[in-house]
Amino acid sequence: MAHLRRVAVVSVITVVLSVVLVPSTAQATPPNIPSYSTAVSRLNSLTVAAESHQSSYSRDLFPHWITITGACNTREQVLKRDGSNVVVNSSCYPTSGSWYSPYDGVTRTNPADISIDHVVPLAEAWRSGAWAWTTARRQTYANDLGGPELWAVTGTVNSSKGDKDPAAWKPPRAAFHCTYARAWIQVKWYYGLTVNSAEKSALTTMLNTC
């Protein structure tokens, strides 16, 4: 019996170790995505207003991809955060890894195929109130790793989105609409940006998929 118990224990340990040692394929996501109920409340608290100052927008007004730590800039930090089994060189550039793009459900292994998307695009932020900010605040916004603003996605889907809001563009993967809306609302709420009526309606429709 003692022998059988030892065999059973060893078997259990082997199973546990086999589970622990399997490489994780979990998909990382940006932090501080609000719950459905919180997102609804925050959406309803946003000021509804027409966009403005579009003609004066320039991407250079939002200093981005600043150095975050060591040799790593913001883009590289997101690639490390959101990828699986990412290995970087001394310059913090990924030499291997894989990235799952939640917008379109595509996985890529070449970091050159991955773009870092501002969920609320810089131009959209500008039109929604960032035109009145200081350059320092715009830099904070463009490099914000503390909220759900930056996402690693395929370059193809990022180009398709451009600077459109949810009334004009939604992620092609419908299963992501709930998360996308909650992230968008959080960014707008946190930075005190406005929404226009079509945008609010589109966000409400997306939240209804949650």
Q: Would the pLDDT of 53 be above 80?
A: yes
Mean pLDDT (the chain) is 90
pLDDT category at 13 given cuts 50, 70, 90 is: very low
- The span from the CA of 86 to the CA of 99, in Å, is 9
Residue 29: the pLDDT is 84
pLDDT single digits (tens) 95-125: 999 999 999 999 999 999 999 999 999 999 9
Question: 130, 138 in Cβ contact below 8 A?
Answer: yes
Domain ranges of the chain: 36-208
> Look-up: residue for tokens 């501002």?
118
Q: Would the pLDDT of 39 be above 80?
A: yes
Where does 31-103 have alpha helices with state H? 36-45, 74-82
3-state DSSP assignment of residue 109: coil
Q: Would the pLDDT of 25 be above 80?
A: no
Residue 193: the pLDDT is 98
